[in-house]
Amino acid sequence: MAEKVEKSHPVVDLFDKRGLTRDEVGKIYTSWAKDYDKDVVGLTYYCPSNNADELEKLLGVKKDGLILDACCGTGLVGQELSKRGFHNLHGLDASKEMLEQAKQKGVYKKLVHAFIGPERVDIADDTYDAVIMSGAIGCGCVHGGGLAEMIRIVKPGGYVAMDSIFKYTHDSDYGGKSFDEIIDSHIMAGRWVTVTRHLVEKVFNNLDGMQYTFQVK
């Protein structure tokens, strides 16, 4: 059987560029929003459910837990959470056009137009039972400076579930530290503890990545 390979797509290929700014990324998503769902689902492999599965294991029957879908895009992860019975969902994204698509899915009680870190987002401390973020690490989206914000807005005992795609984690460093070094600095400081941290094969378009879940202290 032939080995599956990454499938090329003219928009996805734009994220190969190193040093993408938030403005450049914003323009990509502005033009892509209406076709995003069709395009990414049409790629060789796309799985928005890995982090949702982890939260379901951890939150269990607490289906009313308040969850923030950070970098929610068009709401594909929100749909996965909704399928699992979670109904108290907020979505956050830096693209108004992507949020408009997410709104149409009808799974979010609130939508927030903002970046996640390093600047403080207008959300109170200890607001959420969990933050979930899928496919947004690096490439001018979220770098290591956003982790402290996710920790801040999650209640003690709550969770942060996120994943990365190795090919696109360039530019995820912050303050001279790599993304994983920043993760570890928060562990060493006692801000969170590791629940899961493992390789995920073919997480997106036959590309490998990591899945992380942390419990906030």
- Alpha-carbon distance of 29 to 140, in angstroms, equals 12
- pLDDT band with cut points at 50, 70 and 90 for residue 110: very high
Q: Is the pLDDT of residue 46 over 70?
A: no
- Alpha-carbon distance of 33 to 38, in angstroms, equals 10
- Alpha-carbon distance of 212 to 164, in angstroms, equals 8
Summarize pLDDT for 196-214 with one digit per residue, the tens. 999 988 887 778 899 999 9
Summarize pLDDT for 69-83 with one digit per residue, the tens. 999 999 999 999 999
Tell me the domain boundaries of the chain.
Answer: 20-216
Strand 67-70 to strand 110-113: parallel, antiparallel, or no bridges (unpaired)? unpaired
- Alpha-carbon distance of 57 to 42, in angstroms, equals 28
Identify any residues that bridge with 110 across adjacent strands, giving them in sequence order.
90
Q: Residue 19 has what pLDDT? A: 85
CA 29 to chain centre: 15
The architecture in CATH of the region 20-216 reads 3-Layer(aba) Sandwich (3.40)
Summarize pLDDT for 152-167 with one digit per residue, the tens. 999 999 999 999 989 8
Identify any residues that bridge with 154 across adjacent strands, giving them in sequence order.
128
- Alpha-carbon distance of 151 to 173, in angstroms, equals 17
SS3 for 148-204 is HHHHHHEEEEEEEEEEEEHHHCCCCCECCECHHHHHHHHHHCCCEEEEEEEEEEEEE
Question: Contact 175/144 with Cβ under 8 angstroms?
Answer: yes
0.85 exceeded by pTM = yes
